[in-house]
Chains A and B, each alone.
Chain A
């Protein structure tokens, strides 16, 4: 029977990667001087499963490698081997190695044979074995007294009385013998007790079997393999033929073939190609969630048929019923929507899980003592958002490790504990997920940042900036180049890219810092990428959407609070702030109801520490809108992040506040310079 094993590969890879994560987590927390029994068992079982599975599914290189790993772990758990710190690191390296091997097997790319062999040799050394090139398991039968096939065997089989207790049955064994031999039996009933002493669960019989066959003794013994210690077994050859010569030449051929195989494997060039990690495009969902979904669809169907019925027997008097039905429909759709979104939600622990290892490795490399604290791991967010926030998070943590936390000596000198702390915390707030990366390191040095910014022409000399604005400079493109930790997977990540990635997800990042005390990076992300909570606004005949996340407040302006400054810039005095006024009708070059500021409304929005007031004609409803990409359907437009289709079928643009603010500043610069020029002229 041939079964297509590839259908099981997907599950095998998934569970193997999970197993590797367990191994890594446990290894990181392991006290190598006194490893806990359950912890070692967990690590052993994970390796054992991978070995078993890879063997069954034909990934032999993985099997061979894992076998050595498993042997070492087995010795540790049997108390035969004392682990050292270096060996724990070796085990961690082995986990990485296995990850690569599994990825290569999954993506069908080449494995780095050299590296694998060297790690494997290290493992062998740890076991006290001499490292060797993989040898083919040459059949050891040549050392035994090979009884050549004769014409039969004489077997004396005396099972012990308790043989049935292990579920064995002589009858089945004889049936098996029958498959390759002709059998005649002679039964021995000497041991049968009188009926009143007869225990039905005991075996009192024994047999003399005569087999006519030309299979060898091993084959015969194999049938009785399971019951070797539960019986007395003698096997004697009936007739033997001298065919030793043929056996010998066969053996020689076998050895030659094995040597060939070994040599060709060593000769094979190692092709270093890093397997691209394919993000898995499947989600594991709790069946409860699916059941809830099915229920909701059921309710929807009921509501639909109720409304349908109404349509059939239309009666204006039943308008209340119709409204009732429509309300019901709204409830059903909303519930369904919320629950479907829920399915894409996964706990952020999936993303946080890589950090213990990262902090462990990097702090060793940097010779710093750093403790990682994680909280809010169960906070859920959209799977895609989580996948995309991974790299920015890594970069921010590496940044804290590299530039935030000081060397142990410096920390002590500053009166701080020798071990620095990095705290990752995730929580939900106002329809968003917030991730804080806090460290108790040196904090941002505002002077240095400011001077570097002036040096790079990002900020002009003499310009006054608030502390917040100075700190925000680190996210500026052109600022970060010298600060980057060298090998972040060669993806050229800087703080500006981090900011951009977060921005692309519809989120925001900001930093709060106190020199000498530490810094907190706060990332705010929407819970989903597809839907936005928006405020509809009207300018003239056009409807726009402003993301609620960006809106601080909306107000009616008082003309005495508006001021004009250099050029055509207008600002609004709101409490202690001067908010620049952005006339949407002029940015988008459309008609509006009235250009007088008194007649319209000001929607104060914020992005990246900057506040701006959007001058609009009217505020409409607040609603959830489905984001449609303008880029994929048309092209990228400045000031606009996407579009949506409203209930009445019209298209409304979703405003990109950050982009608008940039546009505004460009215009203001332009106006200022032209004003200066005209003045001068």
Chain B
């Protein structure tokens, strides 16, 4: 089954995302910020990356930029978790190479629907 790399500095969000995805049969790799995610990404090959934007140590946009530099991740779908108010965040994300976004707050169904859009 497909593997998702889920990055968020909020433990409750990580838990919710992980639980939802695993319940639908996905494998999940969790990371707490950009640095953690980059390390874990180098040692694995997830089918998609889901990342929050505002995180300490390395934010989501920087993470996406860095991931795109890795040969394995040139075409990996990468989704940002954004909030309604961050209008230009979507633009910034796309410029960094993000595939798309998922707007917070989201419910488990929306999460799964969005993941399905990018994972076969």
Contact = CB atoms under 8 A, between A and B. Distances in A.
Interface of A: 1, 3, 5, 7-9, 11-12, 15, 41-42, 44-45, 48-49, 51-57, 63, 67, 70-71, 74, 164-168, 172, 176, 201, 225-226, 229-230
A45 B23 CA distance: 29
A630 B99 CA distance: 68
B54 A45 contact: yes
A201 B107 contact: no
Contact of A56 (B13, B23, B68): B13
A56 B107 contact: yes
16 contacts: A1-B109, A3-B108, A15-B10, A52-B52, A52-B104, A52-B105, A53-B10, A55-B104, A56-B106, A165-B68, A165-B74, A166-B98, A167-B76, A167-B98, A172-B118, A172-B120
A476 B27 CA distance: 65
A3 B19 contact: yes
Interface of B: 9-13, 15-16, 19-20, 23-24, 52, 54-56, 68, 74-78, 81, 83, 85, 91, 94, 97-101, 104-109, 112, 117-118, 120
Given A44-B54, A52-B104, A56-B107, A166 B11 contact: no
A168 B85 CA distance: 24
B36 to A, nearest CB: 15
Contact of A57 (B12, B54, B112, B120): B12
B21 to A, nearest CB: 11
A233 to B, nearest CB: 15
Contacts of A8: 12, 15-16, 19
Contacts of A168: 77, 99-100
B12 A15 contact: yes
B75 A3 contact: no
A1 B19 CA distance: 12
Contacts of A167: 75-78, 97-99, 118
Nearest to A9: B12
B78 A226 contact: no
Given A165-B74, A176-B117, A56 B98 contact: no
A8 B117 CA distance: 26
Contacts of B19: 3, 7-8
B15 to A, nearest CB: 5
Contacts of A201: 74-75
Contacts of B104: 52, 55-56
B101 A53 contact: no
Given A9-B12, A167-B77, 6 more contacts: A8-B15, A11-B15, A55-B104, A71-B85, A74-B85, A226-B101
